Chain A
Amino acid sequence: MAQITLDGIAHAYGPRPKTDADYALRPLHLVWEQGKAYALLGPSGCGKTTLLNIISGLVQPTVGRLLFDGRDVTALPTERRNIAQVFQFPVIYDTMTVAGNLAFPLRNRGMGAAEVSAQVRKTASMLGLLDVLERPARNLSADAKQKISLGRGLVRQDVAAVLFDEPLTVIDPGLKWELRSKLKAVHRALDLLMIYVTHDQTEALTFADQVVVMNGGQVLQVGTPAELFDRPDHTFVGHFIGSPGMNLLPATVAGAEARVDGYTLALAGQYAAPAGRVQVGVRPDFAELAAEGLPVQVDRIDDLGRVRLARVRLGRHPLVARVAANAAIQGTEARLRIEPSRIHVYSDDRLMAPL
């Protein structure tokens, strides 16, 4: 049980990093609270696995300190950090039974047989593995194997944090949801700090209390799923989260108005004249083709069943908008209505606050 503090952690794989580009992970400060579930979300190569490896001790950070409950563990080897990890591919000990697998970490720490057996049963019952306890672990399905790897971590009383490295990669699509619910249940039952690495936003948003969005070795935003959706701090977050992602249009902003290719959009607040490259962002969920609004060209309408999405152009700039349930679009001309409070202004990709 622990709180994890990343104090100025940064990492470069090369020997003498000079520019930002040399860093796989740029300096970051984060505090992860005991009992919460965090997801590290980002595309491949964004540094999330490096970060996970720093926490597990596989990688030594180039600079910075890693604290578990205020104790500096930066130099400690993996086995003395009291963490558990579930890997992308199920890691189980082929020659042992399920019970043998679960008992392995306890036996390695010299725990007595009776206590081992009690702990193993407790963990197995929580993960629903009681029925297969005496079966060879080798022959089980991938999702059962992932439960075993998780169990090997949970069986220890002193686990500070459980790390998940894209644990659902090899699980059948139909079973992913079930295993994820099991993880959630375990999290609620055990009050553990869990860190979950994934590039799948659905997994991240459904699993985590707090999502850490990363790109290019930087943490771009830490927030609840709702915050990431409603108020993306960075254009990347807006675009990466949500399906389809946020529309981003080059614009000029003055006062409470934004101009996009000659068209004027009303904003909810007053903005100081922003410096750098200015964009306005709006999620397709809040841009609707309706009876009145800005004139747009309709390129295509995709019927996704639950919702209809239109690919339209405002002047020269393409964007995606929702088609209102009862709206009938004729020809290629349509009107676009955007909720002013849902329009965000970005300057050099960073969210600007209204005055």
Chain B
Amino acid sequence: MKPRDDRAWLLVLPVFAVVLFSAVLPLMTVVNYSVQDSFGNNQFFWNGMGWFRELLDPTSELGGRFLAALGRNLVFSAVILAIEVPLGILVALCMPRGGWQLAVTMVVMALPLLVPWNVVGTIWQVFARADIGLFGAAVNGLGIDYNYAGNATAAWFTVIVMDVWHWTSLVALLCYAGLRAIPDAYYQAARIDGAGRWAVFRNIELPKLKRVLVIGVLLRFIDSFMIYTEPFVVTGGGPGNSTTFLSIDLVKLALGQFDLGKAAAMSLVYNLMTLLVCWVFFTAMTQLDAAREPTP
């Protein structure tokens, strides 16, 4: 048990100050904007809960737009989770157990994770083009008419493939770490018990992966829920609004249209939602940390 000492606050003070400056102050501005309306020239009027009412009213222009972006974002998160988690587990199960093969595998897998997000966009913008990109040319070569700039389905397909390319390795590396923590005795016991491959996965590997999977799913959900740069570079949110996710919409509203009140209200609701998920994450994490068995 850690000793209690409130003087530890002195050590935390710098972090506290930085976070106060970089998070709290800006958020207060947002709150301030969210209850006002402006007609330009820095003239502000009290608008109370007006923006929030409009935002949460699906029949209004703002509400409709917000809910549409939210819906798109949730579908996007659900789809990439449904692909990345099973694929990540599969890849982790296929990874070598050691030696130079493992080192090479890890390095190649880590590569996409370290690519600047706008470059991820650039890579796929090029790679998926029918005229100059290998991927686009190959898909079109199969006889499928594929053009992410003109067709909403193709745009979604591109954005999803891009995210799978970008982030599946994270799930795989997490799962690999989880698998490595399983003592050999479990596999040996399963062989003695006559368990098949599926039974081993179902009864040994999957339960032991629970902890890393919770972390992986929450991280991927949160990060996909605030995705901006990659789809922005590839599709710019289009065609039409088909790939306009929450962050893209918010930036359009705030920095494109300078609709400060609306953008602020949307920011707050958006932030509140991530805060909620974050809380789930934190609770899950502390519980898993506490329940963590001492591994031999």
Contacts and interface: CB of A to CB of B under 8 A. Distances in A.
Interface of A: 56-58, 77-79, 83-85, 87-89, 91, 93-96, 104-105, 108-109, 149, 152-153
Given A56-B192, A58-B188, 12 more contacts: A57-B191, A78-B192, A79-B192, A85-B188, A85-B192, A89-B185, A93-B204, A94-B207, A104-B193, A108-B194, A152-B192, A152-B193
A77 B194 CA distance: 10
A144 to B, nearest CB: 15
Contact of A91 (B186, B194, B196, B199): B186
A89 B199 CA distance: 21
A104 B195 contact: yes
B interface, over-half SS: helix
B134 interface: no
A262 B23 CA distance: 88
Nearest to B291: A138
B203 A93 contact: yes
B203 A104 contact: yes
B256 interface: no
B185, B191, B193 — which one has the most chain A CB atoms within 10 A of its CB? B193
B189 interface: yes
B296 interface: yes
B185 A78 contact: no
Contacts of B191: 57, 77-79
Nearest to B296: A89
Interface of B: 183, 185-186, 188-189, 191-196, 199, 203-204, 207-208, 296
A95 B194 contact: no
A105 B194 contact: yes
A173 B183 CA distance: 24
A78 B207 contact: no
A94 B199 CA distance: 13
A109 B194 contact: yes
A293 B41 CA distance: 115
A58 B203 CA distance: 21
A55 to B, nearest CB: 12
Contact of A83 (B185, B192, B203): B192
Nearest to A109: B194
A77 B195 CA distance: 13
24 contacts: A56-B188, A78-B192, A83-B192, A84-B192, A85-B189, A87-B185, A87-B188, A87-B189, A88-B296, A89-B183, A91-B186, A94-B207, A95-B203, A95-B207, A96-B203, A104-B203, A105-B193, A105-B194, A108-B194, A108-B195, A108-B196, A108-B199, A149-B189, A152-B193
A78 B185 CA distance: 13
A83, A95, A96 — which one has the most chain B CB atoms within 10 A of its CB? A95
Contacts of A85: 188-189, 192
B193 A108 contact: yes
Nearest to A95: B207
Contacts of A58: 188
Contacts of B186: 91
Contacts of B208: 94
Nearest to B183: A89
Contacts of A87: 185, 188-189
A83 B193 CA distance: 9
Contact of A78 (B183, B188, B199, B203): B188
Contacts of B194: 79, 105, 108-109
A36 to B, nearest CB: 21
A91 B189 contact: yes
A180 to B, nearest CB: 20
A172 B84 CA distance: 43
B185 A91 contact: yes
Contacts of A109: 194
Contacts of A57: 191
B32 to A, nearest CB: 51
A96 B204 CA distance: 10
Contacts of A149: 189
Contacts of B193: 104-105, 108, 152
A84 B189 CA distance: 8
Nearest to B193: A105
B195 A88 contact: no
B125 to A, nearest CB: 45
A276 B119 CA distance: 77
A4 to B, nearest CB: 16
Nearest to B204: A93
A83 B189 CA distance: 10
B188 to A, nearest CB: 6
